[in-house]
Amino acid sequence: MSFVEPVNALASGEMSALRQCRLFACDDIIEARDHIAKILQPHRLLPLGAPDARPHHMDVIDMLGVRISAVSFGEARIEVPPLADYHAVIFCLSGQARIRSGDDEVDIGPQRAITCVPGRPLEGRFSRDCEQLVLRIDRAAMQAHTGLRHVLLEPVIDLSGTSARPWLVHLRNLTDNPETLRMVRSDRRIATNYTRLLLGLLVSGHGLRDTVEQSRHRPVPASVYRAERFIEAHAADPITLDDIAAAADTPVRTLLDGFRRFRETTPMQHLRNVRLNQARERLTRERSASIASIAMECGFGNLGRFAQDYAKSFGELPSETRKTARRRL
């Protein structure tokens, strides 16, 4: 893979604010993988070619529902299991990569990004000189912004086009301006508005896939909708798969098949994700309630398992979410 000259507004910047948020710098790719997993999710990271003399690193800005990361680990291949309830937008600040997400396979660089959706695995190969910019957008944040239950962005973003410029300028203002970052971190209202604008410019400038056309060809069974409504209304209750199937008025096997085909998950996994999102939302806004009480009230009976599932989905422990939220409140 050859180097591509940066052309977009973000890749050409110094990103001085983002560079002040270094999570790690190390020479060991296994150590790098473990650090990256805390921000994204567990994965395989396989070095290719000769070792890179430059240290691997990751710089991270954490906002409400969105994490912005600059990552470099030399020439390597990455294999990520189905994304755990978040969208990802990936492009290169330098170098090149080839990313496969579901049926989409895209060559990315400073001029082109790929969007990846929850529930789909991701594979990628990165050039030796590659530093990638990754936006991790919580599914709940995307749903809250669009008002849609299932959001599907177009798989490729042309970063050299005019429609991407407002989004890139907004992103650069955050990553390249330490004072902007300080204000976002210190004022929850500013953080909320900044996140909304970031998502709004992304969706408006880039657009969604034709979900109307998709639904015409792949109508989602009413039983799946009934199951989702029941789960959202009773997530804190000790409900079972049989309870969900009964509320959806369909056999368990039929319900499982519907979720697998149209949601790429299972009813119980969806229940777990709803509970996790509810717990995260409460952890970010409630000061006095304990983590244990929030977990129990959101339907988690095993606190150890809750912490494990939470870290796998959000890349941090519940206590870390609470500490970050308290600094912002």
Phi, psi of 79 (to 5 degrees): -130, 115
Beta-bridged to residue 88, according to DSSP, are: 116, 136
Q: How far apart are CA 122 and CA 99, in angstroms?
A: 7
Lowest mean pLDDT, pick from 13-22, 88-97, 211-220, 318-327 = 211-220
pLDDT at 12: 52
Q: Tokens 């050299």: give the residue.
A: 160
Structure token pair of residue 295: 């977990």
CA atoms in the 13 A half-sphere facing the CB of 62: 18
Q: Are strands 22-26 and 56-62 parallel, antiparallel or unpaired?
A: antiparallel
- Per residue in 213-235, pLDDT (tens digit) is 344 345 578 898 889 889 988 99
Q: How far apart are CA 21 and CA 62, in angstroms?
A: 9
Where residue 94 falls among pLDDT bands split at 50, 70, 90?
A: very high
pLDDT at 173: 92
Question: Can you name the CATH fold of 16-211?
Answer: Jelly Rolls (2.60.120)
Q: Which amino acid is at 69?
A: S
- Answer whether 129's CB lies under 8 Å from 94's CB: yes
Q: What is the DSSP letter of 266?
A: -
pLDDT at 13: 60
| Helices 267-285 & 303-314 angle (0-180, nearest 10) | 90
Domain 220-328 has what CATH class? mainly alpha
Q: Check pLDDT > 80 for residue 264.
A: no
Where residue 178 falls among pLDDT bands split at 50, 70, 90?
A: very high
- Answer whether 170's CB lies under 8 Å from 201's CB: yes
DSSP 202-223: HHHHH-B--HHHHHHHSPPPHH
Comma-separated ranges of CATH 1.10.10.60 domains in the chain: 220-328
DSSP 161-199: SGGGHHHHHHHHHHHH-HHHHHHHHH-HHHHHHHHHHHH
Phi, psi of 71 (to 5 degrees): -130, 140
Where residue 209 falls among pLDDT bands split at 50, 70, 90?
A: low
Q: Check pLDDT > 60 for residue 67.
A: yes
Lowest mean pLDDT, pick from 82-86, 142-146, 264-268 = 142-146
Q: What is the mean pLDDT of residues 261-285?
A: 87
Lowest mean pLDDT, pick from 80-84, 123-127, 154-158, 239-243 = 80-84
Q: How far apart are CA 22 and CA 59, in angstroms?
A: 4
Comma-separated ranges of CATH 2.60.120.10 domains in the chain: 16-211
Global confidence as pTM? 0.64
Where residue 1 falls among pLDDT bands split at 50, 70, 90?
A: very low
Q: Tokens 């290169």: give the residue.
A: 92
Cα diameter, the chain: 60
Opening angle at CA 279, ends 254 and 193, nearest 5: 110
Q: Sign of the CA dihedral 274, 275, 277, 278?
A: positive
Q: Could you give the C-alpha distances from 211 to 37, 149, 297, in angstroms and in order?
A: 31, 11, 35
- Answer whether 128's CB lies under 8 Å from 49's CB: yes
Q: Check pLDDT > 50 for residue 121.
A: yes
3-state secondary structure of 289: coil
Q: How far apart are CA 290 and CA 296, in angstroms?
A: 10
Q: How far apart are CA 182 and CA 192, in angstroms?
A: 14
